[in-house]
Chains A and B, each alone.
Chain A
Amino acid sequence: MAEQTLTAGTDLPAITRSRGNRPRKALDLKYQPGFGTVAVCCLVMLYAPILVLAIFSFTAGDSITRWGGFGIRWYVTAIQNEGFHHAALTTLKITITATIVSTLVATAAALATTRTRRWPGQTAAFMVINLPLMVPEIITAVASLSFFALLASVLHINFGLGNLILVHTVFCIPFAYLPIKARLEDMDLTLEQAAADLYATPWMAFRRVTLPLLMPGISAGAALAFIVSFDDFTITQLVAGPGQTTLPLFIWDHTRLPLTPEINAMSTILLGVSIVFVTLSFVIARRRRK
């Protein structure tokens, strides 16, 4: 093994020599050989398929693999597709409801379990709330299916779209909960003391101090819940009844048919929604840091 000579990092001199025009790398303590290349390759690998998908959605031709010039006709087709409308509407109904409910519920739960003296059952409550994160989707899917089948057959209860909304709400809760909890933990405790010192009752202190400062966390939680519900496939596919097609299910159905660039267009629209929400949550996070 290389001798321990009295210079930091015996592998440095070679690098200094071979990259004469960039001596800084030799002295850059953070440098690890090859890591940059791997990182760039990963980035390329992650984006290549979706970029190809997006690019081919703008083809004017009929083929999904042969470029036929630039055009947006497939977006027009997709947008005019009745099924697409219906699926979009269904998705929005489910997702918006699930987001609102899960965010409200998660906010309350975060307030109860964060920055507080321990109360009996607190750890158990935390585990229950985060349970959906620890169960693989397929298991949640079939369990929910069994549950609703039982409700329907034995108790004759069927909530219709409500079934899906309830299931979505369940797995949205932890996604909304964690950012809110994180934001709450970051908050300055003395602000609430100052409010109390200035004659604010606990409720007023919450309304005028805690809640406004918590809003970035609540927004981030809501954004996450929205995306997770919007994108869900596995659970939705197994629990959905007839006529309850969401956008991901609709796209899946289209893969069974002969492939046309319409599927690219629809997929790219979905990707666009995700990008919008990620950007939103980034902007919110940045503003909060001020």
Chain B
Amino acid sequence: MADIAAVEARGVVKVFGGGQDAVRALDNVSVAIRQNEFFTLLGPSGCGKTTLLRLIAGFEQPSAGEILLNGKPVEHLPPYQRAVNTVFQSYALFPHMTVAQNISFGLEMRGTPKEKTAGVVEEMLGLVKLSGLGGRKPTQLSGGQQQRVALARALANHPEVLLLDEPLSALDLKLRQEMRSELKNLQRTTGITFIFVTHDQEEALTMSDRIAVMSKGQIQQLGAAIDIYERPVNRFVADFIGDTNFVEAAVAGREGDYLRCRSAGGLDLLASPASNAGAGTKVTLAVRPEKITLKRNGDTGTVAQSVYVGTDTNYDVRLADNMRLNVRVQNAVDGRPQFAVGDKVGIDVPAGATRLLQD
């Protein structure tokens, strides 16, 4: 299983501008993307994800570091010499060519004979469910259809890697959800390595094999969706993905695989990963709202606010010392919220549900 990485970045740095205005868009980024993987670069705008994508595609060159495609260095090659294709955010379909001509463009550029091209175009149109629309011009298509043409145009070349730059951001919600499953299926069917860029965490979590969460030019955490969600390593990842309660606490002591910590408001939590931090060390803990259980008639806190969101209710619970926790509880079977404003409740957090954040 020791495959070469489909794409590898080694110590990549990208600096824009010079002197005092220099912006370090990528700061010593190293990552290896596996063959046949659906890999996502996730982060807020300005985090460097698009820059990294453009470096892999060849539209920019790194200020330092190497980029390897299937083990071969490519950072010095122009885009038309890399076996990589891109689906652009704005689709970038050639307006003066038909759909079929758009799709066959890459094949034409590589000298594929016309007979073969026609076949591939038909195959691609079928793959993206646009059969019969080969003769239309891009301006005659809807947004969703244009997006599929962009996909087909890239896939027609059987690239080693397919790069997708926020391709779903221009679509409305329903279409986006449809396309998510279609893209996932496409990746599985074709077996091509997909590198997907998005700022939408739901997209990342639902589609990816692995996610790289980026911020300020660096990869904050790399792992499968469940790892990123359940075991965030630092404050940024815990905050960016889903909702989190941040609790400042002090270490009480190690208990096996866990670290016992105490915080204001009377919380006593067993956090993981355990470390050998001494008693009294100040730490930041992260607790997901849905992991917290509220017990009736407790005395740890009071429900201050209750917000109904359909499947759950979000409770704002006030503890002693001005501590607040956001708790999400699934609504009872009969659809009614389980707690009301003013209820006194106890807090229960299972061991290990609390994450110790590095910072």
Contacts and interface: CB of A to CB of B under 8 A. Distances in A.
| Direct A/B contact, Cβ within 8 angstroms | yes
Interface of A: 188, 190-191, 193-201, 204, 208-209, 212-213, 290
Contacts of A208: 105
Contacts of A197: 57-59, 79-80, 84-86, 154
B79 A196 contact: yes
A193 B95 contact: no
Interface string B154-173: 10010000000000000000
A52 to B, nearest CB: 45
**Interface size range on B against A:** 20 to 34
B80 A191 contact: no
A103 to B, nearest CB: 20
Nearest to A201: B80
A213 B57 contact: no
Contacts of B81: 199
B90 interface: yes
A208 to B, nearest CB: 8
In this complex, the member of A188, A194, A204 whose beta carbon has the largest number of chain B beta carbons within 10 angstroms is: A194
A197 B81 CA distance: 9
Contacts of B94: 191, 194-195, 209
Given A190-B90, A198-B106, 8 more contacts: A193-B79, A193-B88, A194-B94, A197-B80, A197-B86, A198-B80, A198-B153, A199-B106
Of B57, B78, B96, B139, the most chain A CB neighbours within 10 A belong to B96
A213 B85 CA distance: 23
Contact of A198 (B59, B78, B85, B95): B85
B206 to A, nearest CB: 27
A211 to B, nearest CB: 10
A193 B163 CA distance: 13
A190 B78 contact: no
A199 B96 contact: no
Most buried by B among A193, A197, A208: A197
B92 interface: yes
Interface in B92-132: 92-96, 105-106, 109-110
A199 B109 contact: yes
Contacts of A209: 94
The 4 residue pairs across chains A and B that have the minimum distance between CB atoms? A198-B106, A194-B92, A199-B109, A196-B79
Contacts of A204: 109
Interface string B56-87: 01110000000000000000001111001110
A212 B110 contact: no
Given A193-B79, A213-B95, A213-B96, A198 B157 contact: yes
A190 B88 contact: yes
Residue among A200, A212, A213 having the largest count of chain B Cβ atoms under 10 Å: A200
A191 B79 contact: no
B271 to A, nearest CB: 47
B106 A193 contact: no
